Structure 1
Amino acid sequence: MAGPKDLDPSSSPRALLGAELRHARERRELSQEQLGQRLFVSGSFIGQLEAGTRRMQPDTARILDEVLGTGDFFTRNCAAAAKSKYPEHFAEAAEAEEVATAIRQYAPLLIPGLLQTPAYARAVCRAYQPTAPEEDIDKLVTARMERAGILGDPTDPLLWAVIDEAALRRVTGGSAVMADALRHIADLARRGRVITQVLPFGAGAHAAMEGSIKLMDFEDAPPLVYFEGVGTGRLEDDPAVVRHQRFTYELLTACALSPEKSLVLIEAMAQDYAHEDHP
């Protein structure tokens, strides 16, 4: 396995831990696989910690200090790296997005977070937490919009989204909000910033009827798949699981409308929503 590239330790606490882990491992003359064996994890998991694509957990930090003879360095700094503006179940996935080179996502029920507008995101967050103070909703929306900032780069990462027609038909926040949300997706697609396909109702039964898929690829770490439920989520790096989910995603792209036909449908739906708001 290729070693991770040098990270800027000043860029984030996670990058600092990753860089120090790599240096400490190399001082002990251990490979990623050898260190992983001592922690009962895979060598690829160690590589992901070093690359900053996975979050170091307190138990892992304690064992690393023992195995690598680093005193309490990882234990002390693990808490700082664990701080996040995102919900606990999603924080590690959001951090992985930041360093991903490609993100492939199937969204069955709502527009993917990276493609949401502020108004749409607010409607979703309010639906999740109907009794939350407005300032809490503001923080969630701000964090979601900051996540979408990764699309500000003209080329990196690749974002390929398959959106179920159900997500586009479910009126979230009202017709005006939906019109703006769909125009935003169409604009990103027309600028070549994202690849978007719509999985139409006419496709019938398909390979991912049980849930969403998010696959992430990295320059210097193995790929990950993220599974998400109501208030829960987990990252998985098992090669067999990732391979199966990638095949499922490929089946979805084969069943979905082409990017060109999807764009036509999205723009037509945006126009329909706009007319509903202004009859």
Structure 2
Amino acid sequence: MPGPKNLDPSSSPRALLGAELRVARERAGLTQAELAERLFVSGSFIGQLEAGTRRMHLDVARQIDEILRTDGFFARNCEAAAKSKYPDHSAAAAEAEALAKTIREYAPLIIPGLLQTEAYARAVFRAYQPTATEDVIDELVRNRLERAALLGDPTTPVFWCVLDEAILRRSGDDPSILAEALRHIASLIRSHRIVVQVLPFSAGFHAGLLGSLKLMSFEDAPPLAYVQGMGTGQLFDDPSTVAQHTLTYDLLMANALSPRESLALIESVAEDFEHDQLA
């Protein structure tokens, strides 16, 4: 029987590589758990590789080729599948969210990327990289807006986020940028595209003090949890770890304002910043 064809890097290479992995594994008569045992990884990790929600690294690809006797196919093609326009620390999460059925996110410092406007994204990237050329900033903004286009679908993914009140108050040098960004969020809420809750200052100490959190679920793969710090990010698939982060998110929701109260606060703060501009 002929082996799998080399992948076309221009057509969702990670998803294609995952599909070929499933074919090769089943041809070898192995379950996901059995292949995982030979690779010393979890069964859920194999499921995520096959679903295209996880990146296949070269060392894993070589082991897969050896176990499944695929004559170097996966090692040859994983380089194309690993290419990303996102920073290394966040690439896996950014690409996984494009396949997610539901996304739940806690944001403590800035508006989540999927909700950012062009002006807000530009201001954030410029703050991160004050000496970068305009071409670099333009590319970062373009990639960010391409990600945000994910919400152009009227139903998928379901997006629910908890915003720390600090996000609503950090305006920078131009308050109109934040006002526009908050109006954009309010518009998405009013069009029933997203659900947003604000975690108010009055909540005091809370479960999310250590940083941002993103939870993603998928149609045909186990859920993932992503936590991010300054220039770092970790993607977790271990069920107990995902469950722990899910509890953290549930606690944050419990301490946040209701969606209706949150919308009222978002629009009120936007109006305040708009009035500041006119004063």
Give the aligned partner of residue 13 of structure 2: 13
CA distance in 1, matches of 2:268, 2:102: 28
Give the aligned partner of residue 249 of structure 1: 249
> Which shows bigger deviation, 251-260 or 173-182?
173-182
* Aligned-pair identity (%): 65
Give the aligned partner of residue 235 of structure 2: 235
Give the aligned partner of residue 103 of structure 1: 103
Corresponding position: 1:77 with 2:77: yes
Corresponding position: 1:204 with 2:204: yes
| Mapping 1:109-148, distance limit 5 Å | 109-148=109-148
| Runs (5+) with no aligned partner, structure 1 | 1-7
CA distance in 1, matches of 2:9, 2:134: 35
The code of the aligned residue for 2:156 comes to D
**1:221-269, CA deviations, whole angstroms, 9 ceiling, x for partnerless residues?**
1100001111111100111111011111111111000000000000000
CA distance in 2, matches of 1:273, 1:57: 47
Q: Is 2:17–2:50's contact at 8 Å kept on the other side of the alignment?
A: yes
Cα distance 1:9–1:58, how it changes in 2: closer, same or farther (>3 A)?
closer
CA distance in 2, matches of 1:207, 1:80: 39
Corresponding position: 1:215 with 2:212: no
Shift of 1:10: 7.6
Give the aligned partner of residue 177 of structure 2: 177
* Helix, strand or coil at the partner of 2:71: coil
The code of the aligned residue for 1:261 comes to E
* Helix, strand or coil at the partner of 2:98: helix
The number of equivalent residue pairs is 272
**TM-score, normalised relative to structure 1:** 0.95
CA distance in 1, matches of 2:71, 2:149: 38
Q: Is 2:9–2:81's contact at 8 Å kept on the other side of the alignment?
A: no
**1:56-103, CA deviations, whole angstroms, 9 ceiling, x for partnerless residues?**
111111111111101111111111111111111111101100000000
Give the aligned partner of residue 5 of structure 1: none
* Helix, strand or coil at the partner of 2:44: helix
Q: Is 1:111–1:163's contact at 8 Å kept on the other side of the alignment?
A: yes
Extract structure 1 runs of 4+ deviating beyond 6 A: none
CA distance in 1, matches of 2:34, 2:187: 48
Shift of 1:172: 3.6
Shift of 1:174: 1.6
Shift of 1:168: 1.2
Shift of 1:176: 0.6
Shift of 1:171: 1.3
Give the aligned partner of residue 272 of structure 1: 272
The code of the aligned residue for 2:229 comes to G
**TM-score, normalised relative to structure 2:** 0.95
Corresponding position: 1:153 with 2:153: yes
Q: Is 2:9–2:80's contact at 8 Å kept on the other side of the alignment?
A: no
| Mapping 1:16-27, distance limit 5 Å | 16-27=16-27
* Helix, strand or coil at the partner of 1:99: coil
Shift of 1:207: 1.0
| Runs (5+) with no aligned partner, structure 2 | 1-7
The code of the aligned residue for 1:239 comes to P
Q: Is 1:10–1:16's contact at 8 Å kept on the other side of the alignment?
A: no
